[in-house]
Amino acid sequence: MCGIGGILTVNQYQGNLENIIQRIQAGLKHRGPDDAGIYISKERQAAFAHTRLSILDLSPAGHQPMSTADGRYWITFNGEIYNFQQLRQNLISQGEQFHSQTDTEVILKLYQKSGFDCVHYLRGMFAFAIWDDWEKTCFVARDALGIKPLYYWQSGSTLVFASELRAILASGLPAVNLSVEGLYGYLVTGSVPEPHTLIADVYCLAAGHWLYWQGENTTKKQYWQINFTPEQISPIEAQERVRTALVDSIQHHFISDVPVGIFLSGGIDSTAILALATQTQHKKLSTYSIAFAEEEWNEGEIAQKVANLFSTKHTEYQVTASFAKELFPKFLTAIDQPSIDGFNTFCVSKVAHENGMKVVLSGLGGDEIFGGYQSFQKVPQMVSWSKKLHVLPFISKSLGMGLSDWGNSPRMKRLGDFLKETPSFTSAYRSFRGIFSHQEACAIIEQLIGERFVCQQQLDIHNFTPKDAVSFLELSCYMRNQLLKDGDVMSMNWGLELRVPFVDKNLIETVAVIPTNIRLSRGKELLVKAVPELPDWVVNRPKKGFYFPFQSWMSSEFGHYFDNQNIPSNICLKSWYRRWSLAILKYWCDQIKV
């Protein structure tokens, strides 16, 4: 895993390419402490930057940007291709010769043979750009599920791209103005929704998309989308399929030339990964967890018990309020874009890094594909209830207006938003998962930047079943916009590669066709039965998210960080996550001087 960046241009900035690409590279230095490289094309239409965290082929042969032997194609790549060895052998059988043991060279050779279709062969997490120095074109792609981020800014024929928004801004080319759409999405959901960022005219290349640059012409295309069309599968067959696919995913995610550890929370997902990894790996596994003094939030004891059961080398760190306060300024400087999450991953990544790890596995994604959140029950109930109420639309809208205007809690205000709209899973999900209501978000935006936002983006849910619609929304919104982005930025801050075996294209394609009543049964029953090694005391304990005791910390050690919010006085800030979201936004804006 690494940091990538580049600039493509026809007429502008060519005389200043060295300075621009060096600034971009400097903005990515923390992502790749092991090596760095820059490439500038002969006719100065392209410049690539790379910073390397060495995971596969630790030798200088893995240096990037990398080129084909004839110098035609150049690549800068971030991520891991887990099936690269199989692809490499296929290419060798077709006469290709390789000069390294890297997955980077495999992508380069595959593009040389298959062009745009190369993305269909790749299993893993990736963001890369390939420059064709003969045709003067560039192919940019991002993995199917959006594990690796890729941002870009375009003005005329000039396009700048990078692994982080900060590196785009470091180029000095985009104007630093807040995006109304990005800011609204952040206030409503707690993270910035793709394809927007918090900076106007800077975008995130959407998951499962590629982009093709040809000077004045740029083409974007979606190459992958999840398919929930069910097949006739019995419960027993479903369990077998899930287990086989999960074992296969875990085996692939252990492909590395450096040791691989596991983040262990003591929940079903991370325990399932550890249980199966114990069977597939021959070395003693290393696990890492965080504990708290506050009993309500502490999962350290259960994680230690799981580690003992599977005989791992376990490292636990107890995070106190005073330690968190000391670490918090470093966390603030690590933020690429604000969210209401991230500090947890920042802390546990620090623990793994300080114990010599460069790669860790996480249980992220299990809840989204096996129905582990309350949203799988609550959102369909909200839609059903609203449809009944909309038989009398005047009453529904009046009730909605009353709640959004006069509701005495954040949840009531968001419920009011939902009732005013035509019933949909997107609006119900936004109400359930939301932070600020529509009116509140608009008022905050108007106070911050003097503009008013009126349009709300609706995701296309197709003809999914109710629970599949929720699964799609959780994968496309909460997981992609918040969990994956925070996971990437916060782990890479410590020179740590975060891998997510549940967020695997092959696994998800296998699981998605299992009928909803089996795949999304309560308590993640399908996953539990597929991994019978899970102990009862893990399966039957109440679900807890990987959260910190912010509510109590904010009223003591952390208090000054979350005071003096410059927002309309009628907006309720009793909920910790509202205070957090505004404080993090303010620190971020101050840092980038927006």
pLDDT in tens, 521-546: 999 999 999 999 999 999 988 766 55
DSSP E strands: which ranges in 98-143?
A: 124-132, 137-142
Same domain membership, residue 27 and residue 58: yes
Check whether residue 289 and residue 367 sit in a common domain: yes
Q: How far apart are CA 574 and CA 555, in angstroms?
A: 11
Q: Is residue 415 pLDDT above 90, yes or no?
A: no
- Considering the domain architecture, whether residues 117 and 145 belong to the same structural domain is answered as yes
Q: Exposed (0-12), middle (13-18) or buried (19+): which is 258, by Cβ within 10 Å? A: middle
Domain that holds residue 367: 235-372+468-549
Element (H, E) at 584: helix 576-592
Q: Are residues 388 and 341 in the same domain?
A: no
pLDDT at position 298 is 57
Least confident segment among 248-257, 319-328, 336-345: 319-328
State the DSSP string of 441-496: HHHHHHHHHS-----------TT--HHHHHHHHIIIIIIIIIIIHHHHHHHHTTT-
Domain boundary among 195, 222, 249: 222
Q: At residue 64, what are phi and psi to the nearest 5 degrees?
A: -130, 160
Domain boundary among 420, 447, 465: 465
Q: Are residues 353 and 325 in the same domain?
A: yes
* Backbone φ and ψ of 144, nearest 5°: -60, -35
Q: Give the whole-number percent of the chain exceeding pLDDT 70.
A: 94
Question: Does residue 108 form part of some domain?
Answer: yes
547 pLDDT tier (thresholds 50, 70, 90):
low
Residue 182 lies in a domain: yes
Per the DSSP assignment, residues forming a β-bridge with 47 are 7, 40
Stretch 466-495: mean pLDDT, rounded? 96
Same domain, 431 and 518: no
Q: What is the pTM of this model?
A: 0.94
Rounded distance between C-alpha atoms, residue 212 and residue 487, angstroms: 28
Residues 411 and 434 placed together within one structural domain of the fold: yes
Nearest of 348, 344, 413 to residue 578 by alpha carbon: 413
**Domain boundary residue, one of 442, 465, 488:** 465
Total number of domains in the chain? 3
Strand 124-132 vs strand 137-142: parallel, antiparallel, or unpaired? antiparallel
Annotated active-site positions, please? 2
Is 590 domain-assigned?
no
Digit-coded pLDDT (tens) for 134-166: 999 999 999 999 999 999 999 999 999 999 999
Report the CATH number that the domain containing residue 299 is assigned in CATH: 3.40.50.620
What pLDDT does residue 545 have? 56
Tokens 């890492």 map to which residue?
288
- Domain with 130 in it: what CATH number? 3.60.20.10
3-class DSSP assignment, residue 216: coil
**pLDDT, mean of residues 36-57:** 92
Percent of the chain with pLDDT over 90: 71
Tell me which of 33-42, 155-164, 315-324, 566-575 is least confident. Answer: 566-575
Per-residue pLDDT band at 462 (split at 50, 70, 90): low
Domain-embedded: residue 146: yes
Q: What is the dihedral of CA 43, 49, 54, 57, to 10 degrees?
A: -10
Q: Are 122 and 90 in contact (CB under 8 A)?
A: no
Q: Give residue 400's pLDDT band: very low, low, confident or very high (50, 70, 90).
A: low
431 shares its domain with 495: no
* In a domain? residue 491: yes
580 within domain boundaries: no
Do 440 and 489 lie in one domain? The reply is no
* CA 572 to centroid of chain Cα atoms: 29
Please check whether residue 482 lies inside any domain of the structure. yes
Q: Are residues 39 and 149 in the same domain?
A: yes
391 and 529 belong to one structural domain: no
Q: Are residues 344 and 278 in the same domain?
A: yes
Confidence at residue 576, expressed as pLDDT on a 0 to 100 scale:
84
Average pLDDT, the chain: 91
pLDDT confidence bin for 11, thresholds 50/70/90: confident
Q: Is residue 313 part of a domain?
A: yes
Pick the closest to residue 561 from 569, 553, 573 (CA basis).
Answer: 553
Helix or strand holding residue 333 (H, E): helix 321-334
User: In this predicted structure, which of 181-195, 303-317, 429-443, 540-554 has the lowest mean pLDDT?
Assistant: 540-554
User: Distances in Å between the alpha carbon of 212 and those of 75, 136, 215, 253, 445?
Assistant: 14, 11, 10, 29, 34
CB 122, CB 107: distance < 8 Å: yes
